[in-house]
Structure 1
Amino acid sequence: MEAFDRLPGEISHLVSEFSSIPIFGTLRLGLTQYTFWLIVSSIVLLALVFAYVRRISLVPRGIFANAMEVCINFVADGMGKQIIGATWEKHFPFLATVFFFILVNNVVGVIPGMKPGSGTISTTAAIAVVVFIYFVFVGMRQHGVGGYLKSLAPAGVGFPLNVLVWLIELVSMLLRPITLAIRLFCNMFAGHIVMGSFALMVALFAEPLIQELTVSNALGAVPAFIFAAILFVIYAIEIFVAFVQAYVFTMLTAVYIQGAEAEGH
């Protein structure tokens, strides 16, 4: 029971912010735990990109090079060619950047002791806004400002129904970055909190046994083994979710780009 009593406080600590980091004198830099791991994830992503560029060859060799090739081809074929179509190549760098940025942040967040940079709404909202600006720019470049706005309404719908449909489509378009941001944030934040909660329960129930090996402490630590088994399953699921969320976000980005380039809905 003592372990359960301590759990709320430990979870609050789990979601708390990092203390401000002293820079010089009284100047301090405030970083939340998610911002810190976002920076770490960005450094990891850059390291992966440079490592892959150095290993580029006609025939990829090694597990790392082949794994990167599989991911790159997955984005190119599964989201570029199949969804966007003929113009996929010019959008591929953007799609690949979005996919790998989200994927690395998600995977880093699954590692024990780390946090997903994508587990905060400010990060996911920033990515979603960038996606929104990108596909709107693509649409306006393709059709012109007036032509793109006009293309929101399906062709062949008469007045005044076309005005109503246009307003609905406009609101739908404006909601896209919000739904993108919230979907990714909720999945990664909730998953991290669930994993962290079970990890805390393992530690809290096992702590007395670690401090003193007695029969009563051993019996009291039995729930720790149960929670550890559940935690193992959750980790496997969260690794899968990390890939799925990166795919869903990027896939929807490709759909929005394709829609922006299309002549009409």
Structure 2
Amino acid sequence: MEAFDRLPDEINHLVSEFSSIPVFGTLMAGLTQYTFWLVVSSIVLLIVVFAYVRRLSLVPHGIFSNVMETAINFISNDMCQQIIGPTWKKHFPFLASVFFFILVNNLIGVIPGMKPGSGTISTTAALALVAFIYFIAVGIKQHGAIGYAKSLAPKGVSFPLNVLIWLIELISLLLRPITLAVRLFCNMFAGHIVMGSFALMVTLFAEPLLQEVTASNILGALPAVAFAGILLVIYAIEIFVACVQAYVFAVLVAVYIQGAEAEGH
């Protein structure tokens, strides 16, 4: 069918649209699509935070305040207290900022026509680097630079096995920002490509019917209905994935903070 024949070219065009191209052509070459939507997401996040602070009260009123209160309690209880322990309060602002920043960026990117700020490796790498510096600084503050380096090796293991394990732990430590960045980027990028692909199939099969209403075009447009149903399911899944990825990133950072503060393995 003609729709399937055109699909590879359309997919290639779709993927190229997810590259970091300028928003306004050569007028503002430094402002890419991802940078633009990253700024938009940051502004939206600030508006949400200020709106919540203005409505802050002992007993939350309204859907917005209750949703925000539930999210904050979830972060403080399930993400901070249960993972980090007694020192959770001093890390709560950082973890909450990371979680909400990624969440808003992910959800903004789900809206048709918009791009997720977290859909480019440069953004996720920057987030991962900030998280890496943070929990390394926590470990150094807790144990001192030499003490933190020593804490990577497990206690009770004799030489030279403890040196080998220390090297393995060091490599694992250095790989953490890479895994954080790649995991978030791949999930968001892949999800949007899948959504875009099914949206293209809906368009390609429905296009002849929109140009001319005939019996053959109506019959040919029937697959578009099936693809549209699948697209709605994928859309719902992508919203869920956007929330899960923000949670996973923040939880992993909390685990790394807890490990940095621990006396040793």
Q: TM-score category by the smaller chain?
A: over 0.9
Q: Which residue of 2 aligns with 1:228?
A: 228
Amino acid across the alignment from 2:167: L
Which residue of 24, 34, 39 corresponds with 1:21?
24
Return the offset for 1:138.
0.3
TM-score normalised over the length of structure 2: 0.95
Q: Distance in 2 between matches of 1:99 and 1:20?
A: 27
Amino acid across the alignment from 1:74: F
Does residue 192 of the first structure (1) align with residue 198 of the second (2)? Answer: no
Q: Which residue of 1 aligns with 2:153?
A: 153
Query: Deviation string for 1:31-86 (max 9, x for gaps)?
Result: 33222222221111111111111111111111111101111111100110000000
CA pair 9-33 structure 1, distance change in 2 beyond 3 A: farther
Written as runs of structure 1 = structure 2, the 5 A alignment for 1:89-128 is: 89-128=89-128
Q: Distance in 2 between matches of 1:125 and 1:94?
A: 17
Q: Which residue of 2 aligns with 1:251?
A: 251
**Which residues of structure 1 form unaligned runs of 5+?**
none
Q: Is the 8 A contact 1:205 1:224 kept in 2?
A: yes
Q: Is the 8 A contact 1:205 1:221 kept in 2?
A: yes
Q: Is the 8 A contact 1:45 1:104 kept in 2?
A: yes
Does residue 130 of the first structure (1) align with residue 133 of the second (2)? Answer: no
Q: Distance in 2 between matches of 1:169 and 1:4?
A: 49
Q: Is the 8 A contact 1:135 1:260 kept in 2?
A: yes
Identity over the aligned pairs, expressed in percent? 77
Return the offset for 1:27.
5.9
**Which residues of structure 2 form unaligned runs of 5+?**
none
Q: Is the 8 A contact 1:21 1:30 kept in 2?
A: no
Return the offset for 1:19.
3.9
Q: Distance in 1 between matches of 2:212 and 2:157?
A: 77
Q: Which residue of 2 aligns with 1:167?
A: 167
CA pair 58-97 structure 1, distance change in 2 beyond 3 A: same
Q: Which residue of 2 aligns with 1:239?
A: 239
Q: Distance in 1 between matches of 2:203 and 2:257?
A: 47
CA pair 165-133 structure 1, distance change in 2 beyond 3 A: same
Q: Is the 8 A contact 2:23 2:36 kept in 1?
A: no
Compare 71-80 and 8-17 and name the one that shifted more. Answer: 8-17
Query: Secondary structure of 1:28's match?
Result: coil
Q: Is the 8 A contact 2:199 2:228 kept in 1?
A: yes
Q: Distance in 2 between matches of 1:132 and 1:19?
A: 30
What is the alpha-carbon root mean square deviation over aligned residues?
Answer: 1.4
Query: Secondary structure of 1:30's match?
Result: coil
TM-score normalised over the length of structure 1: 0.95
Does residue 180 of the first structure (1) align with residue 183 of the second (2)? Answer: no
Amino acid across the alignment from 2:128: A
Return the offset for 1:121.
0.9
